[in-house]
A and B are shown apart, each in its own frame.
Chain A
Amino acid sequence: MPARVHALLVVRPEGAGDETLQHLEHTLELIGAQTRAVDALTVVVCGRATAELRSLAGRGGAEAVIEAARGTGYAAALRMASVRLGAAEAVWLLAQDTAPEPGALRLLAGALESQPSVSMVAPKLRDARDPDLIVSLGVSMTALGRTVGLVDGQLDQGQHDAAEDALAADVRGMLVRRQIWDLLGGVDPALLGADEGLDLGVRARLAGGRVALVPAASVVVHGDGVAGLPAPTDSRRRGRRAYASRTAALHRRLTYANAALVPLIWLSILPLALARSVMHLLRKAPALVGSEWRASLVAWLRLAAIARSRARIRNAARVTGMRPAWALVAPLRVRRADLKRRFDDGEDSSADIDRRGELHFFTGGGAWIVLGALALGLGAFFALLAWPVLGGGGLLPLRESLVDLWGDAAYGRRALGLDEVGAPDPFAAIVALLGSLTPWHPSQAFVILWVLALPLAALGGWFAATRLSARAGVRIVAAMLFTLAPSFLTALIEGRPAAVLAHLLLPWLFYTGSVAKRSWGPAGAASLLFAAVLACAPSLAPALLVLWLAALVTAGRRALRVAWIPIPAVAAFAPLIWERAIVGGDPWGLLADPGLVWAAPQAGADAAGRILLATGFATPDLAGWATLAPSVPQLLPILLLAPLAVLALVSLISPRWPAGGVLLVTALLGIATAFAAVGITVQSANGEPVALWPGPALSLAWLGVVGAAMITLDTPLPRRVRALRPWAAAISVLAVTALAFPSLTAMLRDDSALTNGPENTLPAYVAAVGRDDPDVATIVLTPLADGGVAARVVWGSGESLGGQSTALSARAEPTASDREVAALSADLIAPSAADVAGELSSRAIGFVLLAPGAGTEAADALVLQAVASLDARAGLETVGDTTRGRLWRVTGDLQPRPELTRAETALQGSISLAQLVVAAIAVLLAFPTAASRRAARAEPRIVGAAPAWGAAGRARRERRAKTRRDAAAAAPSAVGAGAEPEPQPVTHAEAGPERDAAHADETGSAAGPDDAAEAEAGPDTDPDGPGDDTTDDDGAHTSAPQDPLQTASDDSDDSDDHGPGGAR
């Protein structure tokens, strides 16, 4: 009489339930069809047991149907059913989706009976959608406890049919000796569904038993996730897999470890989670970070479960009378060398696809154009080489120490204003970053930036052009045009650091942002550049957000990567948004240009000004033409830009019109932003309203126009008109070069706002005092033309670029401290009876500087009055007349500047930490790894490329898409007959006739099998992960796509053409 077998079948109705019922029916059918029938069948329904379910179970021969709570796990459900085992001698662990083949139980039971030392036997698990694919046959682990599926994901060619012994096996379909089942206490519920079979096997081994494999017995599984891990078909399931695997791994480690080591392991969990989060980010798998932390916290906090699991091992050992014999387990573990040998090949095979080709930076002339721009930059800004500090326009010296430099970039005490505490402009961080490049003299960084601006623009333009064209000539033309942009040159000549930086960063944002949806690397880089561009030009935010939204909407399933792009910018601006827009109620102020604000002529908000803007000029002097050659009619410089504009517009009729259209829309957005910018006045300098600078918006427009023109130039032309291309390029470049002539020679003609220095904005005396004690303020009074006075409180040795604040320059309403400064200033310039000196010293203001006035009669009168009353005031001592004005010193003892309060310090810390974490995440994502570079090579460098055959190619693509749709519902042969020369492994996805078409569409044609295969083969692809000790999920590695569709040369810009394999 063979042993009595009691089958436990767990059902969890999920979603619509149709699929569950189908699977269950199939499974019950096959259980009924066993050549050796089960002796008893208990069905556990986790959830509501509907009548339909019950009747199905009844028909299937279930002895009983147990209803369990909805959230009951597999282990708990089995435990509930175990009370009904009765006299059974073996337990068969089944679930709704584990369909045993008719001979399975006979083989399993036979194996169990014939080998008394065997505690449990496991069948071969095969994939329901691809029966040739082994889902699992034997599970082992590494020395550190990482789960290794021995043959997971391999094609079944009978190569493993001789396997007999393994450390453990997948829990699904396992037949366990009753005695052992009771001894071990069943499956450990603390594992949350992962590694249940492994744990059971290990514990059986420790109790002296063996685990035998019966490859001939085969069970087909769907991966519903009732028993074992769910198949990673969507992001929710992938998250659940990662979470359960990691929780189980940590729990097993805590359970198996020597008792003395448990506290150490327990303490290491959270640091390890941090390290692994970094690793996930580096591997461009940010989705895993969340489950990593969830799993770590759960494993960390479940002290009782750890104790229970450890007790179970001890009890089993006590009953069998032997010590837990880890020595028995050791030989069955997988060694590192084995892992390497087995899985190295798999990676190489996926790395061969290279659709990128050489960059041709040197051979294609990119290096030469950068060198040429360097020579041009050296010529145009030769004088700057000897300057230690760049001044004039919006340029100011930088703080002298890195600590102060970064202090200005962090939330806290501001460098201007009456002891202001608040959020900095994100631009301060850009300034700090640049200043840190020359730590010995941070101000030098901007001198170097100015000299290198032209080559850097050429470099950026060239790289941006690599996204548009593979032609060396087109790239060179793009680099030249981008370098000679009128708005850029104007920003250089007028000394507008933020606008210069925005122009230099924009092409890189295009370079990375245009491929952000392909992978996390460019998305991470684009997010940093997005934040940097917005920091330099907040007025670009609406335009960039529109472009981002468009990208997000068209990104399809890869939307998460695109969605990440604005996150660092949001983190950088969040404190400012909170302070200005939400608390302050002044959202307009957020658009303010960062840095020093000063009134300079710029295109106005009228038709004349908008004509200038629409033609690319930010200033009324037409990028210097109006001053250099006043006799030249205004129309001429504008006409010089016409060839480029025509080239750009022609892109709309080129075969790559979608790309051209997107670029022209970008240009339109830039022009619209410029139109809006000159009409928005939120800032003021010395009481004079200053409209937003339209330069960065024009740079964005220029990027779009140049890009669109490059699309036109890249168009393949028939042989007879091919000669037009160089002519068109040459004419537009020559015209733009002519236009750039006044700007490039401005320094030589002494017609630029740039000045050498000043090292300090305050008199040297104050600067010297301020260097020693940065907490001494100076109140700077500047008489205005109308008899008013501008008052500014400057801390330390003088104003710095990073210390500027839009919170100060773009206020809507005077604040309380403004009123205080105003009262103080009025009392200073008038012979008032107030104790002004006492007021000053109580605010730690040590100096009063009366800057030279505006020169008008009213200003002179004010100067006379102010000098008289300041001179006559007790408590102030005249230091004397300096180059920056007349200076007085407060003679009394100064009160110290108030330190940050405890709450403010805490806020400063948390804001800085949050911003640093976001920036670190973006940097880790952007950091290229070998795997990410390999994956990038699988994608063409160009975006929005048209198929070489134009419309015919498009027709072909459409046909292919249709073929795929058909394939979702039809037999594989339908695809095989399609246009593609190769048979498609894609067909795996649609093979299961029971799968409904809607589901196939939703998950994407190639998603199912590829992802499943990768998921099961997780460790295969990254055996080199240091310290990696668990099953990696699919997202954690970056394998090249297997889908041969992707090898077609016509990568298109509509995402639907990519399989998810192509995304990685």
Chain B
Amino acid sequence: MTERRTLRTILTSARVLIGAAVAVVLVAAVAVAVAAPLPTFARSAVSIVETPTPSETVAVCAGPLLATGRTSGAASEIAVAADAVLRYGSADGEPAQEGLRAASVVDSSGPSVLRMSPLDREAASLAGAQASTAAAEDLIGFAASACEAPRFESWLAAGATSTGASDLVVLSNPGDVVATVQIGVYGQAGLTTPPGGDDVIVPARAQIVLSLAGLALGEFTPVLRVQASGAPVTAHLQASRTVTLEPVGVDVTGATVAPATRQVIAGLVTPSAADPAIEGSSTVRVRVLAPSAAAQATVTVTAQGSSSPAVAPAELELAEGVPLDIDLAGLPAGSYTVDVETDGVPVIASAWTSSALGGERDFAWIAAAPMLDQPTLFAVAAAPAGAATAVHVVAGPEGAEVVLTPVNGGEARALSLTPGDAGSIDLTAGSWRIEATAPVHAAVSYASPTAVAGYPVQPGQGAAAAVRVVP
């Protein structure tokens, strides 16, 4: 029996010892596993970077020159004053052209819309421009504008509702659904949304015309912000002035560049110098607006081919939302580049130029020129006899070698620009392709004593931005 007891004791002791040892080993194993760099298996989420099918390339032209108040008893009736002559072209084929319904204009076939479907998941290139010459009792002058793509937000920095001005806002919706537009007016009181600019309905495939005076009465320097929802719209502004019953010019201008800390206005041409003897007859004005915050802006005007400012740079104190016009008196005739730079607050800028001779006169609003960083198509509308037609190219800080090629075949033109330099090439009407080795700004100008006009070259639509889709 004692033998058995001894055996029991030995077995129990062994069990306790081994058990305790195993327990320690277990705890140690877990501890080691905690500290050890264990391998992991991870794979990233499935996601696909997908480039959307590009949209149809659409360019909406402003349409014919319009006149108001021609019919007595129907002062608000809008009639066609002069038809527009269209020039367009594409490197990818023949664009489709169609008219938009212009219900508010009497006897109008409506403005033209140019469309091209994308080719092989790349947006088609398309450019168009139109020109019209008015020679009526109430409207005289030459106007040229580019056909532009519709946008959800457009800025119009042109026109006035002072005495003698009869300006029209032209909104075109080339899309298939109704667009609802909010027009904000920046004036002396800052940003206001006039009742006439609230929830303006632009039906599908239609154009509407609004009187600027109905939106901003008594404003000398209005800037409009056009915001569309439902569908994008193209906004143009037709400006015309009458001085003591005598029309002094007409112009159609498109949207200027969205607020940015630097704005470049290229191709500002004054056919003649201002007559210093006449007060307020300056031929060049620049309109600047800081829409979101007060800003300090420097406006530098440089003559083409010169490296130093033509006049002393103007230092501007801009209140928030209040546009400011500055006269650039004393500029000799020539082509200029206006450079607006701020202290970091985005601004809007545009320029006005006019031929200041007595008798027949004309003026033009020139919108700021966007930066072109890839080859772009632009169209040059036919100029009236005697008017010089040129494209002005402003180089960036790197300079640029610029080549202009006619889309329909023909001899290419080259231009070599040093940093910051501006140059111009005279062109004939047609479609051109501009290609530069570095980003440039460009604008088309028409200049003669009776015909002043100009519009910036808009960048092509480019490829749609790719988006990461997690299916």
Contact = CB atoms under 8 A, between A and B. Distances in A.
A400 to B, nearest CB: 27
Contacts of A834: 52-53
A287 interface: no
| Interface bracket on A | 35 or more
A954 to B, nearest CB: 8
A607 B34 contact: yes
B26 A664 contact: yes
A868 interface: yes
Interface stretch (A120-128, A746-754, A819-827, A842-850): A819-827
B414 interface: no
A931 B39 CA distance: 51
Interface stretch (A379-387, A462-470, A782-790, A904-912): A782-790
B92 interface: no
Contact of A822 (B38, B48, B118): B48
B53 A827 contact: yes
B469 A811 contact: no
A607 B40 CA distance: 13
Interface in B1-46: 4, 7-8, 11-12, 15-16, 19-20, 22-23, 26-27, 29-30, 33-35, 38-46
Given A681-B43, A872-B177, A787 B467 contact: yes
Contacts of B4: 952
B408 interface: no
Interface centre among A661, A789, A792, A822 (most CB of B within 10 A): A822
A834 B56 CA distance: 9
A675 B31 CA distance: 12
B46 A818 contact: yes
Contacts of B30: 614, 668, 671
Nearest to A823: B50
Contacts of B34: 607, 610-611, 614
A690 to B, nearest CB: 9
A830 B468 contact: no
Contacts of A812: 43, 46
A652 B43 contact: no
Given A672-B33, A825-B50, A872-B175, A788 B470 contact: yes
Interface in B439-471: 464-471
A888 to B, nearest CB: 11
Contact of B50 (A614, A687, A826, A955): A826
A687 B53 contact: no
A789 B16 contact: no
A668 B469 CA distance: 41
Contacts of B23: 649-650, 652-653
B232 A868 contact: yes
B26 A689 contact: no
Contact of B176 (A832, A868, A874): A874
Contacts of B176: 872-874
Nearest to A784: B470
Contacts of A832: 52-55, 464
Nearest to A687: B470
B22 to A, nearest CB: 5
Given A826-B52, A829-B52, A871-B231, A955 B7 contact: yes
Nearest to B45: A684
A814 B470 CA distance: 9
B48 A679 contact: no
B19 A871 contact: no
A63 to B, nearest CB: 67
A681 B41 CA distance: 6
B108 interface: no
Contacts of A675: 33, 38
B130 to A, nearest CB: 24
Contact of A689 (B12, B42, B232, B464): B42
B48 A819 contact: yes
B7 A951 contact: yes
A682 B46 CA distance: 10
A686 interface: yes
Contacts of B72: none
A713 B461 CA distance: 79
A872 B230 contact: yes
Nearest to B56: A833
Nearest to B41: A680
B229 interface: yes
B180 to A, nearest CB: 10
Contacts of B43: 588, 681-682, 689, 812
Given A614-B34, A825-B50, A826-B50, A789 B177 contact: no
Interface in A549-590: 588
A997 interface: no
A653 B19 contact: yes
Given A657-B15, A813-B46, A821 B35 contact: no
B35 A607 contact: yes
Interface centre among A687, A813, A872 (most CB of B within 10 A): A872
A672 B134 CA distance: 87
A655 interface: yes
A822 B471 contact: yes
A918 interface: no
Nearest to A683: B45
Interface of A: 588, 605, 607, 610-611, 614, 649-650, 652-655, 657, 661, 664, 668, 671-672, 675-676, 679-682, 684, 686-689, 691, 784, 786-792, 811-814, 817-819, 821-823, 825-827, 829-834, 862, 868, 871-874, 950-952, 954-955
28 contacts: A588-B43, A610-B38, A649-B23, A650-B23, A652-B26, A653-B19, A664-B26, A679-B39, A680-B42, A689-B45, A789-B468, A789-B470, A790-B471, A814-B46, A814-B47, A814-B48, A822-B50, A825-B471, A829-B467, A831-B55, A831-B232, A832-B55, A862-B467, A872-B231, A874-B177, A950-B8, A951-B7, A952-B4
Given A822-B471, A872-B230, A951-B8, 6 more contacts: A652-B19, A664-B26, A790-B469, A814-B47, A830-B465, A831-B55
Which 6 A-B residue pairings sit nearest by Cβ, starting from the closest?
A: A684-B45, A653-B19, A788-B468, A679-B40, A830-B52, A951-B11
